[in-house]
Structure 1
């Protein structure tokens, strides 16, 4: 079974040495993805806007893997401040409200002070 690596073009992938996503068989593993807009390497100060951008970045990676958000079976939310999670709910509901993947939220330090949320998903292609 051949492994496919997907890049978003983020400078972080090259510097740190990882792929945005890895496809192995029918499984797609998307790395923790932040709210950076990779086209111009900017990030919003607003956690809801960061959440939206995270999911757009993830959606793009999944499309490159020939799948979609509807195939996500597991999601992990990592927030700098757990108290801000509720601000993300409307955006998360917009993308995952019908899909309802298994989910976990944890609070932890993130790699860059500007980052407020990081999202990791696993998808199973149909």
Structure 2
């Protein structure tokens, strides 16, 4: 079984991707930035990470998953020296759940105000 989930973003149509794809009991969520209706939300690594994780909570919920189902998390940071700020926000959500984690240092994103992107994989027990 394969099911796709979208948010209506123009980028999804233009680039030909889905916000999330569920295959059987696994949900793969595309890298997500702190973009809101009026542009990028937050101007630091902590606030952007916090906002993204809130957005991803909604994506998980819409697909019938929860934070507790997350088994892998990848944080893409434009300044790796700010890993503690992003990590603090991540830990507030996943401190007890403890999915695998990758912190990846990247070049600037398309929009230079974007400091963080987060990608998740969630899996329900069979």
Q: Under a length normalisation based on structure 2, what TM-score does the superposition of the two structures give?
A: 0.91
- Secondary structure in 2 aligned to 1:88? helix
- Tell whether 2:81 aligns with 1:76: no
> CA–CA distance in 2 between the matches of 1:111 and 1:24?
29
Runs of 4+ in 1 over 6 A off after TM superposition: none
SS for the counterpart of 2:49 is helix
Which 5+ residue runs of structure 2 have no aligned equivalent?
none
Q: What is the deviation of 1:32?
A: 0.4
Is the CA contact 2:40–2:114 (under 8 Å) kept in the aligned structure 1?
Answer: no
Q: Secondary structure at the match of 2:96?
A: coil
Q: How does 1:51-90 map to 2 (within 5 A)?
A: 51-90=49-88
In 1, Cα distance between equivalents of 2:63 and 2:35:
20
Tell me the TM-score normalized by structure 1: 0.91
Of the structure 1 ranges 75-84 and 3-12, higher mean CA displacement relative to structure 2 is found in 3-12
Once superposed, what is the RMSD of the aligned Cα atoms? 1.3
Residue 16 (structure 1) shift? 1.7
Q: Which runs of 5+ in 1 are unaligned?
A: none
The CA deviation at 1:49 is 1.0
Q: Per-residue deviation at 1:36?
A: 1.1
Residues 21-55 of structure 1 show CA distances to partners (whole Å, capped at 9, x for unaligned) of: 00110000000011112x44443212211101110
